[in-house]
Structure 1
Amino acid sequence: MTTWGSRGDVEPLAGLAVAVRELGGEAVVCAPPDEEFVTLLDRVGVPMVPLGPTVHSIVANPKPPTGEDAFRLAPELVRARFETLTEAAEGCDALLATGLMPAGAPDVAEKLGLPYVFACFHLLGLPSRHVPPPMLRPGPPSPAGETDNRVLWRQDAERVNALYRPAVNEHRAAIGLAPVDNVRDYVFTEQPWLAADPVLCPSEGKTDLNVFQTGAWTLPDDRPLQPELEEFLGAGEPPVYVGFGSMAAHAPKDAARVAIEAVRTRGRRVVLASGWAGLTAIDELDDCFVVGDVNQQALFPRVAAVVHHGGAGTTFAATRAGVPQVVVPRIADQPLWAARVAELGIGAAHLDPSPTAESLSAALAEVLTPETRARAKAVAAEVRIDGATVAAKRLLDLAA
């Protein structure tokens, strides 16, 4: 199994690898060598092979990555996949890839004669006659007057080719494979796997591809909360959790101050996740507790609301916990999750990526109601928690 991306790309693979192991199989994960990911996979006993540069070195900069950065990173990742996966997949029975466009992974599978699966955690970026491309890829934009979605998706494929095809075909030629014309479609295959919950991410009619939806891949977490956090939780009413995960360069401006002040105006305490942005308390008051890596499965059911960036994993964790959410999306699929949370009535979407204390307080007022909590609990009962097992069974069948 391989990925390159944030915690939200790596942890689901850890969950799938554990599910495969529980069914009698074995799995190795090739992932970026960030210390956080190394620790995560080691904690659950899943072998890891480092692949490519650390994600932190790319995203944790004062400025977000540029298009020029993408054109430098793309061939580097292609080379890393050809080199790393070719060795790591020797003796394996299947290869599954996800994360940032895993160009190079299906090529290695082809060379080794292995079944190949592309998996994704949302529908953003999958071709669809119903909606235009999200226009997130670097490269020339489509003409302003073009409205034919089929044309727009062909142009999306051209942008992917510009990023990846020269490196892909150079490495394919080196191992005796014919060139690939459409890198995006070759990577995606005709039946990608969708590792997202059907309640949160209904797929029917959303893409032209024949997706196999497994449900979200969750890594079971039985770690206890630290004693100091337990003491804080027990010292008053349920606090509000605020965290923006590994979105270091994309965290809202003055995120800690804005969040703490907003929560305080609602008369609540705060559990603040430092994350890759390194958020810290803004004063010495005892109504704020800062955490690092924490068991969300244990913590979220005990908070009043979850304020987060809208990553797929955090959205599912909060939904599964039956707790109201305020989603402050910044990039990629995050606005989609924010919109779905609002549509389901289990939280609010704060679509302005730069909230003020006043605007975030208003969003919290909207969700800190008995009605929203009741709706969140009702939806929690509908989501499925066996996604990793469903995928593991299918993967082992494919490997056999």
Structure 2
Amino acid sequence: MHAILATIGTDGDVFPYLGLGARLRARGHRVTLATHEPFRALASDHGFAFQSLVTSEETHAFLNNPDTWHPIKGPGFLARWGAGLIARQYALLAELASDEDAVFAASPGVFAARLVQEKLSRPLATVLLQPWMIPSMFAPPIMPGGLTLPRWAPRPLGNLYWRAVDAVGAFLISGPLHRVRTALGLPPVRRIFQWWLSPQRVLGLFPDWYGMPQSDWPPQLRMTGFPLYDGQPRGGLSPDVRTFCLEGMPPVAFTFGTGMMHGACLFHAAIDACRILGVRGLILTKYGHQLPTSLPSFVRHCEFAPFQELFSHCAVVVHHGGIGTVATALATGTPQLILPLAFDQRDNAMRVKRLGAGDRLSPSRRDGASIAKALAGLMTLEAREKCRLAAAQFGSDDAMDVAVRWLEELAPQ
């Protein structure tokens, strides 16, 4: 089987595909990773072929725009940014589809993969990293900007709500998508957020205790559990980070997303919170320009660290609510303080709080004093015990192995 793994986004969006690819390759399959150009080196380190869906310049334009992480403007900006790439991405994926044993596993945001399935009849599994991506009237996901469908809403109102969501998606995306479909001889799409899910298979890379299946979820959905993978085929914590973690009381880790380039206010508030509480902090960001030119002695900066190893040395992790960070903190039993920004992050924060594994702060409570107060409530034995109970729910199942076997079922015989 030639597994073609296609996704867009930041580390948390790409690392699960690296993990899937590593497991597929170990089982004797060929693997091609199709994503942003900056991930080419990681693909090579894993022994994958690589195709660039997004150039480095396009990636920078996406991350450098402050609207990317705005709760209302973000989805619209991302949709318009991605829509312009559909035609080029289709040509690239269609060429890969010439292999008769090709099987695609793709994010729903890679519209080109769904077009390849429809036009060229190649197998496709849509990969959902979080339950927020699934429309439901019975368990509606928490939407940014207070636009969540109320749970008490009657069915006719729920139907109208999700049709309105489809209409907004069509307004943002349908122009470029329709032009490509017309050129391919395909009919127009009516319900875009139903169409973008493969009718063959949808893989939910999360467990049922995190996202309970609903009767109105897609019947082709198969859940695997959280596929934890830090993106690195080898190596662990750097010696300086390990030394910092072990030379005193466990630090508080602060990360607001590997793609965050506009988090200066958050990082400054994090440093203030550490000063108020008298605790040590470890700040993770690739973009050091967001930090003060001189950090206090109780704070360290690190561009990258493997979360599974790091979080086991941390008292609390303060983060934006990305699903990869959420899953790793749950697995390591590390309390979480979530400061959600956009997309699925408010929904993830709500689920963590319901599990008793952390807390969340609204946008109006993100100063140093508010963060310090919330951290104090999580740095207790009671909070740690609740997180231990959440971690115990992971069990012994290998989520990556489950996902790989569902993909293998799609392989042409």
TM over 0.5: yes
SS in structure 2 at match of 1:167? helix
How far, CA to CA, are the matches of 1:267 and 1:81 in structure 2? 50
- Once the two structures are superposed, residues 17-44 of structure 1 have per-residue CA deviations (whole angstroms, 9 ceiling, x without a partner) of 11211222222111022x2x23333332
Aligned to 1:236, the other structure's residue is in SS state: coil
Equivalent residue runs for 1:242-281 within 5 Å: 242-248=254-260, 251=263, 254-276=265-287, 278-281=289-292
In 2, the alpha carbon distance for the partners of 1:47 and 1:281 equals 40
Residue 357 to residue 42, structure 1, CA distance change in 2 (3 Å): same
- Of 76, 83, 88, the match for 1:75: 83
Letter in 1 for 2:227: W
- Residue 357 of structure 1 and its aligned partner are, at CA, apart by 0.6
Residue in structure 2 matched with residue 140 of structure 1 by the alignment: none
* Equivalent in the alignment of 1:174: 183
- Cα-to-partner distance string for 1:31-73 (whole Å, 9 max, x where unaligned): 022x2x2333333223221103443321323444747745642
For residues 9 and 17 of structure 2, the distance between their equivalents in structure 1, rounded to whole angstroms, comes to 11
Write out per-residue CA displacement over residues 101-126 of structure 1, whole angstroms, 9 at most, x where no aligned residue: 22232111222221111111112242
Separation in 2 of the partners of 1:194 and 1:278?
Answer: 36
Could you give the per-residue CA deviations for residues 83-112 of structure 1, whole angstroms, max 9, x where no partner exists?
Answer: 22112232142112115x222321112222
- 2:131–2:211: 8 Å Cα contact kept in structure 1? no
1:8 to 7, 12, 17: 12
CA distance in 2, matches of 1:313, 1:285: 29
What are the Cα deviations for residues 259-305 of structure 1, in whole angstroms up to 9, with x where unaligned? Answer: 01212322211111124474435645321111012111111101111
Counterparts in 2 of 1:271 and 1:206: CA distance versus 1, 3 Å = farther
1:229 corresponding residue in structure 2:
241
Q: What does residue 162 of structure 1 align with? A: 171
Paired with 1:232 and 1:46, the residues of 2 have a C-alpha distance of 34
The question of whether the paired residues in 2 share the 8 Å contact of 1:324 and 1:347 is answered with: yes
Task: Note if contact 1:247-1:277 (Cα within 8 Å) is conserved in structure 2.
Answer: no
Which runs of 5 or more residues in structure 2 are unaligned? 146-152
Q: CA RMSD in A?
A: 2.7
State the distance in 2 between where 1:325 and 1:24 align: 38
Deviations 1:341-361 (A, max 9, x none): 211112111133650111000
Q: Residue 133 of structure 1 contacts residue 156 of structure 1 at CA under 8 Å; is this kept in 2?
A: no
Percent sequence identity over aligned pairs: 26
Partner Cα separation in structure 2 for residue 161 and residue 243 of structure 1:
34
SS of 1:173's equivalent?
A: helix
TM-score scaled by length of structure 1: 0.88
Call closer, same or farther: CA 1:62–1:333 in 2, change over 3 Å.
Answer: closer
The CA deviation at 1:189 is 3.5
Residue 38 of structure 1: which of 15, 37, 40 is its match? 40
Bigger Cα displacement from structure 2, 288-297 vs 253-262: 253-262
Compare the two structures and name the one with the higher strand fraction. Answer: 2
Match of 2:214 among 205, 211, 214: 205
Q: Work out whether 1:219 is the aligned partner of 2:229.
A: yes
| Per-residue deviation, residues 123-145 of structure 1 (Å, max 9, x unmatched) | 224221225576669xxxxxxx9
2-side partners of 1:93 and 1:63: how far apart?
37
Aligned equivalent of 1:111: 119
SS at match of 1:192: strand
Deviation by residue 1:298-319 (Cα, 9 ceiling, x = unmatched):
1110111111111000111111
Instruction: Find the aligned partners of 1:271 and 1:183 in 2 and give their Cα distance.
Output: 42
1:379 aligns with 2:383: no
DSSP 3-state at the match of 1:124: helix
- The range that moved more, 213-222 or 118-127, is 213-222
For 1:308-327, list aligned pairs within 5 A: 308-327=319-338
* Total equivalences in the alignment: 389
Structure 1 stretches of 5 or more lacking a match? 138-144
Deviations 1:343-384 (A, max 9, x none): 111211113365011100011011000111122122212225
Tell whether 2:199 aligns with 1:195: no
Q: Distance in 1 between matches of 2:337 and 2:215?
A: 25
CA contact (8 A) 2:246 2:313 kept: no
2: distance between equivalents of 1:346 and 1:134?
18
**Structure 2 CA distance for aligned equivalents of residues 192 and 135 of structure 1:** 21
Q: Which residue of 2 aligns with 1:122?
A: 130
| Distance (whole Å) between structure 2 residues aligned to residue 205 and residue 68 of structure 1 | 28
Say if 1:278 and 1:188 are closer, same or farther in 2 by CA, change over 3 A. Answer: farther
Residue 367 (structure 2) pairs with residue 362 (structure 1): no
SS in 2 for 1:27: strand
Contact 1:328 1:353 in 2 (8 A): no
CA distance in 1, matches of 2:244, 2:290: 18
Q: What amino acid maps onto 1:169 in structure 2?
A: H
**Residue 249 of structure 1: how far off its partner (Å):** 5.1
The reply on whether 1:88 has 2:96 as its aligned counterpart is: yes
Distance 2:205 2:113 in 1: 18
